[in-house]
């Protein structure tokens, strides 16, 4: 007696659910290309990609946190604080005791700013992993602290003219925002590099396996020898570093740094992760999907601007896309009844 076995190939429903971010991006490009003659061009795509780079960098860190079953509401504020730290350093550090002003080179500014992001992420991770503070509460508190520190540093003002001066040896900060390599903006190259490295980390390293395991079932992972707390702290540190890099790129693009930069960007990062198919319950998601999600949000927002849609309607459309993505996630990850 023979039993027919149903092939395990992808059916149309699964294909549409798993590839929804890609299909949504195709639809967005097609629709706006029809509505505006200026949309479908290489120059415009590169400009939009440089805008997406900010969201994408935040989304990479957010993906790592979400895979671990957490959430990081502080990334927007870390972005703003990082920009302010970079602006403060670029405009010179006064040492009153010695009567001198130090102008650190750009690489020192970048290293110190990323160290700040790592430290802020470490605070998040320690609060959550060791003190058992819920991720929502811990990162919300750090959100306010980071934003408050940025406001205190600047007195609510903006650091302008961050290009530096040749005679002071602090030029080159605008390289991240304005320079191009093979006509591709440096910010986009930074995003692509981090995305590739993150993808390799998730798929080829023990840490990647630990991350998926601890996000899917922390107790089982711990019993299997996975250092759950160390993984949890590490993902928040990496998220903080990604937010700092995003702050550097944004400040470089604007050649200025303000304490209110990055407000609500944490929600955009979460949206990119959700649109990309990651489960907010942890353990499921890919860097490929997250990058597609970031491009969906960026290309949609820029397309609405190009065709002259009101900023109020832009918020409505973006919110609708996020709600639809969450609904599709619930359908995709809904347990199927056993026959």
Q: Give, for all 339 residues of the chain, the pLDDT tens digit.
A: 444 444 445 577 677 777 888 999 999 999 999 999 989 999 999 999 999 999 999 999 999 999 999 999 999 999 999 999 999 998 888 777 777 888 888 999 999 999 999 999 999 999 999 999 999 999 999 999 999 999 999 999 998 878 777 777 777 888 888 889 999 999 999 999 999 999 999 999 999 999 999 998 999 999 999 999 999 999 999 999 999 999 999 999 988 999 999 998 999 999 999 999 898 889 999 999 999 999 999 999 999 999 998 888 888 887 888 788 878 877 777 765 444
CA distance 217 to 7: 29
Q: What are phi and psi of 185, to 5 degrees?
A: -55, 140
CA distance 302 to 316: 14
Paired with 40 in beta bridges are none
The 3 state secondary structure assigned to the chain is CCCCCCCCCCCHHHHHHHCHHHHHHHHHHHHHHHHCCCCCCHHHHHHHHHHHHHHHHHHHHHHHHHHCCCCCCCHHHHHHHHHHHHHHHHCCEEECCCCEEECCCHHHHHHHHHHHHHHHHHHHHHHHHCCCCCHHHHHHHHHHHHHHHHHHHHCCCCECCCCCCHHHCCCCCCHHHHCEECCEEHHHHHHHHHHHHHHHHHHHCHHHHHHHHHHHCHHHHHHCCCCHHHHHHHHHHHHHHHHHHHHHHHHHHHCCECCCCCCCHHHHHHHHHHHCCCCCCCCCCCHHHHHHHHHHHHHHHHHHHHCCCCHHHHHHHHHHHHHHHHHHHHHHCCCCCCC
CA 281 from centroid of its chain's CA atoms: 18
CA distance 322 to 311: 17
pTM for the model: 0.92
Bridge-based pairing of strands 184-185 and 180-181 is: antiparallel
């Amino acid at each position: 007696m023979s039993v027919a076995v149903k092939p395990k190939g992808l059916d149309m429903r699964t294909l549409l659910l798993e590839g929804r971010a890609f299909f949504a991006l195709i639809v967005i490009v097609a629709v706006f290309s029809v509505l505006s003659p200026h949309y479908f061009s290489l120059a415009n795509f590169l400009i939009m990609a440089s805008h997406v780079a900010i969201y994408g960098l935040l989304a990479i860190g957010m993906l790592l946190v979400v895979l671990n079953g957490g959430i990081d509401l502080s990334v927007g504020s870390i972005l703003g604080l990082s920009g302010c730290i970079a602006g403060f350093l670029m405009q010179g550090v006064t040492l009153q005791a010695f009567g001198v002003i130090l102008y650190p080179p750009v690489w020192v500014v970048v290293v110190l700013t990323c160290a700040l992001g790592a430290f802020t992420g470490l605070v998040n991770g320690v609060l959550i992993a060791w003190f058992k503070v819920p991720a929502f509460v811990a990162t919300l508190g750090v959100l306010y602290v980071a934003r408050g520190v940025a406001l205190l540093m600047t007195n609510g003002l903006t650091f302008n003219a961050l290009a530096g001066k040749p005679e002071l040896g602090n030029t080159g900060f605008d390289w991240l925002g304005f320079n191009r390599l093979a006509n591709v903006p440096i910010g986009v190259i930074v995003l692509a590099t981090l995305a590739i490295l993150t993808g390799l980390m998730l798929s080829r390293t023990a840490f990647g396996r630990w991350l998926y395991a601890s996000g899917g079932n922390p107790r089982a992972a711990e019993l299997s020898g996975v250092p759950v707390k160390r993984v949890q702290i590490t993902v928040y540190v990496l998220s903080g570093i990604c937010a700092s890099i995003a702050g550097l790129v944004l400040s470089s693009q604007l050649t200025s740094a303000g304490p209110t930069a990055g407000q609500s960007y944490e929600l955009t990062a979460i949206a990119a992760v959700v649109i990309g198919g990651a489960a907010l319950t942890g353990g499921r998601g890919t860097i490929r999907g997250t990058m597609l999600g970031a491009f969906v949000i960026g290309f949609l927002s820029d397309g609405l601007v190009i065709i002259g849609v009101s900023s109020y309607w832009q918020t409505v459309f973006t919110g609708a896309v996020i709600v639809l993505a969450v609904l599709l996630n619930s359908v995709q990850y809904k347990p199927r009844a056993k026959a």
